């Protein structure tokens, strides 16, 4: 899990996601399934903690170590779009 502080933190992971183009499935708002490179799906959970931090958790090995993985980046791009739509609705 990592705390999202800004988009610059995601640049590398976004570039990787654009290259790999994982499938992102919407589960519910803040919860997504992203296809892994070796098949199967990882679950990515985006949420706002009580102290206002945005946290992103992915079930893959890299994220366990606190790395920003491309699954998180892929899920976040969908999440941010949805959050924006919700805010303007």
Binders in 68-87 for Zn ion, by CB under 5 A: 69, 71
Partners of 4 in the β-ladder: 54
Q: Quick one: which segment of 18-26, 36-44, 48-56, 80-88 binds Zn ion (CB under 5 A)?
A: 36-44
C-alpha distances (whole Å) from 78 to each of 50, 51, 65 are: 22, 23, 23
Asked if 17 is part of the footprint of Zn ion (rule: CB under 5 A), the reply reads no
7-15, 24-32, 39-47, 81-89 -> range binding Zn ion (CB under 5 A): 39-47
Q: Which two tokens stand for residue 21?
A: 């183009």
Residues that bind Zn ion (CB under 5 A): 42, 58, 60, 63, 69, 71
């Amino acid at each position: 899990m990592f705390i999202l502080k800004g988009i610059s933190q995601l640049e590398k992971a976004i570039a990787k996601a654009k290259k790999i183009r994982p499938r992102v499935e919407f589960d519910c708002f803040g919860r997504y399934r992203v296809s892994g490179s070796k098949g199967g799906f990882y679950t990515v959970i985006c949420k706002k903690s009580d102290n206002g931090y945005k946290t992103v958790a992915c079930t893959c090995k890299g994220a366990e170590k606190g790395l920003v993985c491309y699954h998180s980046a892929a899920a976040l791009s969908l999440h941010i779009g949805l959050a924006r739509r919700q805010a303007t609705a």
